[in-house]
Structure 1
Amino acid sequence: MTRAMLHAAGVDVRFGGVHALRDVTISVRPGEICGLIGPNGAGKTTLFDVLSGIRRPDGGHITFAEEDITRRSPVWRARHGIRRTFQRQQLFGQLTVTDNLVVAQDWRGGLRPGTRRHRERAAAVLRECGLDALTDAYAGALPVGQARMVELARALADPPRVLLLDEPASGTTADERRRLAAVVRHMAEEENCAVLLVEHNVPFVMELCSRVVVLDLGRVLAEGTASEVRADPAVREAYLGTSPGTSPATSPDASPDDSPGASPDAAECEED
């Protein structure tokens, strides 16, 4: 079996008296799309903060390509290929869509910002993401769905080795979700990128991901294929708050359209 590109082992995080993550172990391999789901407050975004270096864990360690990076900064991780999108969009609103991607490449140096090579790469990524009609639009003026796709494109501007996507489908249309799914699959299958995806739109995750990990109250509750996770009574109870069979509209496999085009309900738009 291929070794993990990114691996978290025994991660603990505390906020005062609150134990946000408890002995969490999770990994993602090159070419794999792994989904991370769980009820609101389960600790999903906190785990992403640990993986991306924004927060240092109180216990456990993180390895990247078998190197311990627990104490490495977010900048070091980004420059070595660990890229992340955010639950709340982090675009440069006063820059054009193209310039948002140019800036993402500039850290390597050796080229004057905005030179042809930067812009050619930006144009290629924007075409792949279906954003080529927005190259000169200002990022701050875009609707939510397009802005999320631009944030994804920016994460791809300098090819990543690990892609951490925090609720990328939130606020998107069905067509945008289909495009998002196609881009993510391409990155995994053609670029051998390791993808870890947090998303409240559970049908989107189940359709897209080859493996799903479920967090609840800061612990790993279940892990397996989409069908295995759907059938797990503990997972259903974590989502329903009762025994399986109650309030099917909130269950992990309930949706009017069980596909990447499925739309989340209001509860799915809340923050972790």
Structure 2
Amino acid sequence: MSHPLLRADGIDVRFGGVHALRGVTVAVRPGEICGLIGPNGAGKTTLFDVLSGMRRPDAGTIAYDGTDITRRPPVWRARHGIRRTFQRQQLFGQLTVTDNLVVARDWRGGVRPMARSHRERAAGVLHACGLDALAGSYAGALPVGQARMVELARALADPPRVLLLDEPASGTTAEERHRLASVLRRTAGEEGCAVLLVEHDVAFVRELCSRVVVLHLGRVLAEGTPAEVGADPAVRDAYLGTGTDSGPASSAGVGGGS
């Protein structure tokens, strides 16, 4: 098994008297799609803030390809291949879909022929994501499901090494979820990208992820295959006991049992 491409080790985060993360250790390897699940308030988005450089941990380290990047800012991480999407879409609403993707590569330079290569790459990614018909549409006018696909496409416009996806399937149709899963499998399998995704649609996680990490009250509660995690009594107790999640992320767990 390959070494982790991105690893968080012993992460602690406090917000005043609230201990949001407590000694959290999580790693994701090249070509792997790993799911991060847990009840609301478990610390999932806070962990993403730490991994993406938006928040510095109070304790612990972040290693990228074996190098400590704990103090590296978000821009450095993004330019070195660590890309993130957000729970609430962060598109440039007044730009077209194509221009949203081109912007993601502008830091490399925009003079010809580089500008042409940016647009060629954007067109290729839009095609792979099934978004050709939306290329000239303004991003701010898109419904949620399409906006999430555009946000994923933008994260892929400049080839990533790590994808951190915060609820990428939320608000999508069944067809969009199928397309999303297909794109992520190809990105991980063919391009060796490491994918870590936060998702409340546990059926989607079960279908897509080879490994699942469960956070609860700021700690890693369980880790393993979807079947192993779904059969873990502690995981079932966490969901049943908090009352914060219902539906797919409930007592059925990620193992698919009843």
Q: TM bucket by the smaller chain?
A: over 0.9
Structure 1 residues 17-96: aligned runs within 5 Å: 17-96=17-96
Please state whether the residue corresponding to 2:169 is helix, strand or coil: coil
Distance 1:252 1:77, change over 3 A: farther
Structure 1 residues 247-266: aligned runs within 5 Å: 251=250, 253=252
Letter in 1 for 2:111: L
Query: What's 2:102 paired with?
Result: 102
Question: Matched residues in 2 for 1:28 and 1:252: separation?
Answer: 26
Structure 1 residues 133-212: aligned runs within 5 Å: 133-212=133-212
Query: What's 2:238 paired with?
Result: 238
Please state whether the residue corresponding to 1:190 is helix, strand or coil: helix
Question: Matched residues in 1 for 2:113 and 2:146: separation?
Answer: 25
Question: Matched residues in 2 for 1:222 and 1:152: separation?
Answer: 28
Deviations 1:115-143 (A, max 9, x none): 32111100000000000000000000000
**Could you list the runs of 5+ residues in structure 1 that have no partner in the other structure?**
259-272
Question: Matched residues in 1 for 2:41 and 2:180: separation?
Answer: 25
Question: Matched residues in 2 for 1:123 and 1:249: separation?
Answer: 35
Deviations 1:42-69 (A, max 9, x none): 0000000000000000000000000000
Letter in 1 for 2:221: L
Q: CA deviation at 1:162?
A: 0.3
Q: Tell me, yes or no, if the aligned pair for 1:62 and 1:68 is still in contact at 8 Å.
A: yes
Please state whether the residue corresponding to 1:93 is helix, strand or coil: coil
Deviations 1:232-252 (A, max 9, x none): 00001111118xxxx886525
Please state whether the residue corresponding to 2:24 is helix, strand or coil: strand
Q: CA deviation at 1:110?
A: 5.9
Question: Matched residues in 2 for 1:95 and 1:221: separation?
Answer: 42
Question: Matched residues in 2 for 1:248 and 1:205: separation?
Answer: 14
Question: Matched residues in 2 for 1:80 and 1:139: separation?
Answer: 26
**Could you list the runs of 5+ residues in structure 2 that have no partner in the other structure?**
none
Q: Tell me, yes or no, if the aligned pair for 1:210 and 1:226 is still in contact at 8 Å.
A: yes
Question: Matched residues in 1 for 2:161 and 2:29: separation?
Answer: 10
Query: What's 1:8 paired with?
Result: 8
Question: Matched residues in 2 for 1:51 and 1:212: separation?
Answer: 17
Query: What's 1:268 paired with?
Result: none
Please state whether the residue corresponding to 1:89 is helix, strand or coil: coil
Please state whether the residue corresponding to 1:20 is helix, strand or coil: strand
Give the fraction of aligned pairs with identical amino acids, expressed as a percent: 79
RMSD: 1.7
Distance 1:161 1:54, change over 3 A: same
Letter in 2 for 1:104: A
Question: Matched residues in 1 for 2:10 and 2:252: separation?
Answer: 29
Q: Tell me, yes or no, if the aligned pair for 2:235 and 2:253 is still in contact at 8 Å.
A: no
Deviations 1:153-189 (A, max 9, x none): 0000000000000000000000000000000000100
Letter in 1 for 2:23: D
Question: Matched residues in 2 for 1:151 and 1:188: separation?
Answer: 17
Q: CA deviation at 1:253?
A: 3.3
Q: Tell me, yes or no, if the aligned pair for 2:200 and 2:248 is still in contact at 8 Å.
A: no
Query: How many aligned positions are there?
Result: 252
Please state whether the residue corresponding to 2:205 is helix, strand or coil: helix
Q: Tell me, yes or no, if the aligned pair for 2:13 and 2:59 is still in contact at 8 Å.
A: yes
Question: Matched residues in 1 for 2:231 and 2:253: separation?
Answer: 12
Letter in 2 for 1:64: Y
Question: Matched residues in 2 for 1:173 and 1:236: separation?
Answer: 27
